[in-house]
Amino acid sequence: MREFARNSTLVPDFIFYVNKPKAERLAEAMVAGVRNAGFKASLTTSMTPRQNSIGVFYGVVPETYATFLFYKAEGRAIYLDNGWLSTPSKPTFRFSWNSVQSFLQDMPPVRKWETLTDKPPPLQRATVDRRALLILQSRQYFDYLRLGYTRDQWERVTTKILQDKGYDVDRREKPNKRERGAVTFFDQIASTSVVVSLNSAATVKALRYGIPAFCMLDCTPSPLAPVKVPECGRAAPPDPKAVDDMCARLMAYEISLDQMKSGEAVDRIMAVPTHQRRGYWYGD
């Protein structure tokens, strides 16, 4: 890959579009790594797209959305977000080309993936058989996906479906800041029988604990988190071997801050074959 980096006519510049402090911290690390790998890179708070460049984005927010769509249309958008396999003690970030999701079958399994991340914190499970935890992603995220319905509409309909199937419904909003003494995600799933989300990474965490999970949109963890929610008491725990295979594949698209700084991350991102850069997108 670095052979190509020596010829600037073959590889576009990397432009990291920054809209918030965390994005800036990641941008600084990744720009350093991209340069270490022999590519040209810069970060900017201007949302003007640039020709012959690859746009890098952390999340999709109002300030960056139009620019993200420009690069997506060109097939040159890199999306970063908190990792599927991230843990509090070893945070990681996931990447996807031209989408906020990637196809699981496109990700090559990584051998001994467990050595590259930490296990989730220990969880003392309570005995429950009819409690569903509904993961609520942000309203603006629903707007960006152009699904034809709002977050509030999805919440009402999904809650009704779960209640009709016999579940008591608990909810979890995406926290903006961690408040001291606040109930954590791990506290909530300890007394949960199923986790339901639109397409959240929370479903992957639930599956790693052996908790049945369901995504209401087709997305990366969908093969193990199908749309159809069973009747109360009939949700079988996930197959541990299937969860292990899923994690092995997810690890192919997980990167650490150190890998961003060293340049290893950009090498892995650029190594993704063109035909596997399609990703999931909704509402187009």
**Would you state the pLDDT for residue 9?**
47
Is there a domain that residue 283 lies in?
A: no
Identify the CA nearest to 44 among candidates 27, 66, 62. 27
- The reply to whether 42 and 6 lie within a common domain is yes
Are 76 and 138 in the same domain?
Answer: no
At 53, which amino acid appears? S
Shared domain for 100 and 207, answered yes or no, is no
The token pair that represents 19 in the structure block: 């809209």
DSSP structure string for 146-180: T-SS-HHHHHHHHHHHHHHTT-EEEEEEPPSS--T
- If we measure between CA atoms, which residue out of 88, 80, 81, 96 comes closest to residue 117? 88
The pair of structure tokens assigned to 33 is 């790594």
Regarding whether 140 and 180 lie in a shared domain, the answer is yes
Q: Yes or no: say if 121 and 95 are a contact pair by the CB < 8 Å rule.
A: no
The yes-or-no verdict on residue 5 having pLDDT over 50 is no
Tokens at residue 91, please? 């945070």
**Residues 110 and 171: beta-carbon distance below 8 Å:** no
Amino acid of residue 284: D
Q: Report the CATH number that the domain containing residue 135 is assigned in CATH.
A: 3.40.50
Does the residue 125 lie in any domain? no
Assigned domain for 67 exists: yes
The number of distinct structural domains making up the chain is: 2
Q: What is the pLDDT of residues 180-191, one digit of tens each?
A: 667 888 889 888
Whether residue 237 sits in one domain with residue 260? no
* Residue 282 domain-assigned (yes or no): no
Average pLDDT value for residue range 215-232: 89
Question: Which residues form the domain of 8?
Answer: 2-118+251-276
Q: Are residues 7 and 107 in the same domain?
A: yes
- 239 and 258 both lie in a single domain: no
pLDDT digits (tens, 9 = 90+) for 82-101: 999 988 888 899 999 999 89
Q: Do 137 and 234 lie in a common domain?
A: yes
What single letter denotes the amino acid at residue 6? R
User: What does the pLDDT look like over 21-60, one tens digit per residue?
Assistant: 888 999 999 999 999 888 899 999 999 898 889 999 998 7
Q: Is the pTM for the entire model greater than 0.75?
A: yes
